[in-house]
Amino acid sequence: MTDRFRLTLAQLNATVGDLEENARRAKDAWDEARAAGADMVALPEMFVTGYSTQDLVMKPAFFVQAEETIERLARDCADGPMIGIGGPHYADDRLYNAYYILKGGRVVARALKHYLPNYDVFDEVRQFRRGPIQGVYDAGPLRIGSPICEDSWYVDVCETLVESGAEMILVPNGSPYYRGKFDRRMNAMVARVVENNVPLVYLNLVGGQDDQVFDGGSFVLNRGGKLAMKLPLFEEAIAHVDFQRGEDGWEAVEGEKAKLPCDFERDYHAMVVSVRDYFRKTGFAKALLGLSGGVDSAIVAAIAVDALGAENVRCVMMPSEYTSRASLDDAAKAARLLGVKLDEVSIAGPRAAVTDALAPLFEGFAPDLTEENIQSRLRGLLLMAQSNKFGEMLLTTGNKSEVAVGYATIYGDMAGGYNPIKDLYKTRVFATARWRNENHRPWMKGPAGEVIPEAIIAKPPSAELRPDQKDEDSLPPYDILDGILEMLVDGEASVADCVASGYERATVKRVESLIYTSEYKRFQAAPGTRLTKRAFWLDRRYPIVNRFRDPG
């Protein structure tokens, strides 16, 4: 019996619904594995369909074609290493999340997901049936068990597999990023290794899908939880891992261990990947955004350039009589530092026309928020017109603080197809802008050095919709606002909890009211990069009509 087993890990980016392309990418990985003398190539969870498919996977025409694609892949890869690949499986009028083992031109085994996640962004109980905990499969010199993603977080699945003879655990994953997720994964998988005394391979998907980013970071653990290999976060990679049989069983030969970046880099990389893949997978090549001279639009411009390249990003300044000279200069400098084209379209003429049109109806009413919102909506109209004319996707630029309390104009500055900073609080926007100015990485297509002028970061935020306007005229200071929001939104804390933490009750109640009354805006907002466990959309689902208020 041989004492060597080579496993090829294919940490790749699948596209939801592109069955043929996903299969082609799996075949390319198999070709590379065969050339490297591998015994098996492994791909992530649901790779043939992409992940997450949401309700698309329940469409019979889709899951039938997905299974046919896997069977065809098996035939095309008959002569060479076996393949592990995720996809749907339909049997006995039930649909399962499965991991297929392909060998000798056919499907020789399937693992069915047992624990179906039904929290945060996951709805797998809606989409799949729960499969039984199954046994192991023969991989030649050793036997492998493959708990699928969520299954590996439960003690009983891995324990059952090892008791059934598994000498290695191979975990295929479609695990999306949120801040702090990698450390949680690593701790959980170390626990499985210590409990079962066998090596474990954690293989994760990479790439953006709607609001989610799959961050890769696949790794291999030897007995005792010792790290043997780690692939990079957010980047595709194919790696060959050699396992050798020793006196105590199988062990991975140590390989490259990618550096784990800081939280700011992980968040920023996630936003860049999400924009890049959202554009690529929806068929857009070029981005458009309004560049106001504020920090939010400046950081979105930087993200867009890092994702798509300066030649594919166009910015537009749309001044009114309230736009300061400083904002015009700051926007021009930001565009120059990033190397993007900056056009200028004044809203003065359109605003005068709208004012004249509404004058008979508004006669006798004092100017108020209505007139401010008209300016924002004109900007949205002008940007969307350019998006339509030139085929550029409009990026919107509202941070999580604004999105939370509705400090944004629906059909105005909320217009757009994607919002990379939707899950980034304002205080975090400032810190991230400084991080980007101080750091550059090879995956960034933009220039090194300062790309967001310090003047933009340092000045008091303002929507500039009336004379001398400041955000703090309408909202608590952002350090206070964000602290309250992190408790009420991210932590689901009570008003009393916030007061006990030192916030004034009147301020907390005001923020709570703003959160609830702006739900209808979020319901219509563009999708954006998920960075936390409480991002607005699938993580936090509240009714639009809601009269509950915490008496606190």
The answer to whether 205 and 288 have CB atoms below 8 angstroms apart is no
Catalytic residue among 45, 235, 265, 392: 45
Q: Kindly report whether the peptide bond that precedes residue 52 is cis, defined as omega within 30 degrees of 0.
A: yes
Q: What is the DSSP letter of 525?
A: S
Both tokens assigned to 355: 């004012």
Catalytic residue among 67, 103, 113, 400: 113
Cα gap 150→519, rounded to integer Å: 31
Smallest CA-to-CA distance from 289 within 501, 468, 126, 526 is with 526
Cα gap 193→5, rounded to integer Å: 19
Question: For residue 386, how many other CB atoms are within 10 A of its CB?
Answer: 18
Active site includes 392?
A: no
Q: Residue 22, exposed/middle/buried by CB under 10 A (0-12, 13-18, 19+)? A: buried
Active site includes 181?
A: no
Residue 60, amino acid: P
| DSSP per-residue letters across 61-94 | HHHHHHHHHHHHHHHHT-SSSEEEEEEEEEETTE
Catalytic residue among 77, 124, 149, 235: 149
Cα gap 436→122, rounded to integer Å: 31
Give how far the C-alpha of residue 387 lies from the chain's centroid of Cα atoms, to the nearest Å. 24
Residue 251, amino acid: E
Sequence-ordered strand ranges (E) for 491-552: none
How far CA 456 is from CA of 272, 399, 403, 432, in Å, comes to 21, 15, 21, 13
- Residue whose structure tokens are 């933490």: 501
Strand 4-11, strand 237-246: pairing: antiparallel
Question: Radius of gyration of the chain from Cα atoms?
Answer: 26
Q: What is the DSSP letter of 405?
A: H
Sequence-ordered strand ranges (E) for 104-236: 106-112, 137-138, 143-145, 168-173, 200-204, 206-209, 212-215, 219-222, 226-230
Q: Which residues of 340-371 are buried (b: 16+ CB within 10 A; e: fewer)?
A: bebeebebeebbeebeeeeeeeeeeeeeeeeb
Give how far the C-alpha of residue 363 lies from the chain's centroid of Cα atoms, to the nearest Å. 48
Give how far the C-alpha of residue 183 lies from the chain's centroid of Cα atoms, to the nearest Å. 17
Cα gap 175→124, rounded to integer Å: 13
Active site includes 149?
A: yes
Residues forming a β-bridge with 96:
89
The answer to whether 100 and 107 have CB atoms below 8 angstroms apart is yes
* Catalytic residue positions, numbered: 45, 113, 149
